[in-house]
Structure 1
Amino acid sequence: MKNLTLLLGLVLLFGCSPAPSNESAEGAPTETPGLDYEQYLDYSGMDDKISGGAKRITINTPSGEFQVWTKRVGNNPTKKVLLLHGGPGATHEYFEVFDSYFPKEGIEYYYYDQLGSHFSDQPEDTSLWNIPRFVEEVEQVRKALGLNKDNFYILGHSWGGILGIEYALKYQENLKGLIISNMMSSIPAYVKYAEEELAPGLPADALAEIRKLEAAGQYTDERYLELVETHYYPKHVLRMPLAEWPDPVIRALTNINYGIYLMMQGPSEFGVVGDATLKEWDRTEDLAKITVPTLSIGAEYDTMDPDFMEMMAGKLPNGSYHYCPEGAHWAMYDDADNYFKGVIDFVNEVDAAK
Structure 2
Amino acid sequence: MSESTGKVDFCVGNETYQTWYRVFGDLNSGIRPVVMLHGGPGLSHHYVLPYKDLHTRFNIPVIFYDQIGIGESSHPKDVPKEFWTVKLFMDELDNILECLGIKDFDLVGHSWGGMLAAHYVSHRHPPGLRRLVLASAAPSMALWVESTRQLLQKLPENVRETIEKHEREGSTDDPEYQAGMNVFYAKHVCKITPWPEELSSSFAAMQADPVVYSTMLGPSEFTIVGTLKDWSCLDQIHTIDCPTLLTNGADDEAQDVAVQPFFTKIPKVRWVTFANSSHMAFFEERDRYFEIVGKFLTGT
**C-alpha distance in structure 2 between counterparts of 1:73 and 1:212, whole Å:** 45
What's 2:250 paired with?
Answer: 300
Identity %: 26
Q: Which one is further off, 306-315 or 71-80?
A: 306-315
Deviations for 1:267-293, whole angstroms, at most 9, x for unmatched residues?
Answer: 223x133x3111111212311011122
**C-alpha distance in structure 1 between counterparts of 2:173 and 2:137, whole Å:** 24
Q: Which one is further off, 75-84 or 64-73?
A: 75-84
Deviations for 1:106-156, whole angstroms, at most 9, x for unmatched residues?
Answer: 1110110111111111111244311111111100101111112xx311111
- Structure 1 residues 167, 139: CA separation in 2 closer, same or farther (over 3 Å shift)? same
1:93-172 matches, within 5 Å, as 93-124=46-77, 125-126=79-80, 127-148=82-103, 151-168=104-121, 169-172=123-126
CA contact (8 A) 2:139 2:261 kept: no
Per-residue deviation at 1:176? 1.3
3-state SS of paired residue (1:153): strand
1:191 aligned to 2:142? no
What's 1:73 paired with?
Answer: 24
* TM-score, normalization by structure 2: 0.91
- For the pair shown, the structure with the greater C-alpha radius of gyration is 1
What's 1:267 paired with?
Answer: 219
**C-alpha distance in structure 2 between counterparts of 1:175 and 1:295, whole Å:** 14
**C-alpha distance in structure 2 between counterparts of 1:212 and 1:255, whole Å:** 27
3-state SS of paired residue (1:173): coil
3-state SS of paired residue (2:125): helix
Could you tell me which of 261, 264, 279 is aligned with 1:329? 279
3-state SS of paired residue (1:65): strand
What's 1:234 paired with?
Answer: 186
Deviations for 1:42-96, whole angstroms, at most 9, x for unmatched residues?
Answer: x7xxxxxxxx421211111124111111121113423201111111111111122
1:204 aligned to 2:125? no
What's 2:35 paired with?
Answer: 82
CA contact (8 A) 1:184 1:305 kept: no
Name stretches of at least 5 consecutive residues in structure 2 with no aligned partner: none
CA contact (8 A) 1:294 1:319 kept: yes
3-state SS of paired residue (1:281): coil
What's 1:56 paired with?
Answer: 7
Aligned residues between the structures: 293
Name stretches of at least 5 consecutive residues in structure 1 with no aligned partner: 1-40, 44-51
- Structure 1 residues 87, 63: CA separation in 2 closer, same or farther (over 3 Å shift)? farther
CA contact (8 A) 1:158 1:183 kept: yes
What's 1:8 paired with?
Answer: none
1:21-60 matches, within 5 Å, as 52-60=3-11
CA contact (8 A) 2:84 2:227 kept: no
What's 2:130 paired with?
Answer: 176
Q: Which of structure 1's runs of 4+ aligned residues deviate more than 6 A? A: none
- Structure 1 residues 209, 71: CA separation in 2 closer, same or farther (over 3 Å shift)? closer
* TM-score, normalization by structure 1: 0.78
3-state SS of paired residue (2:18): strand
3-state SS of paired residue (2:106): strand
**C-alpha distance in structure 2 between counterparts of 1:71 and 1:214, whole Å:** 37
**C-alpha distance in structure 2 between counterparts of 1:267 and 1:77, whole Å:** 44
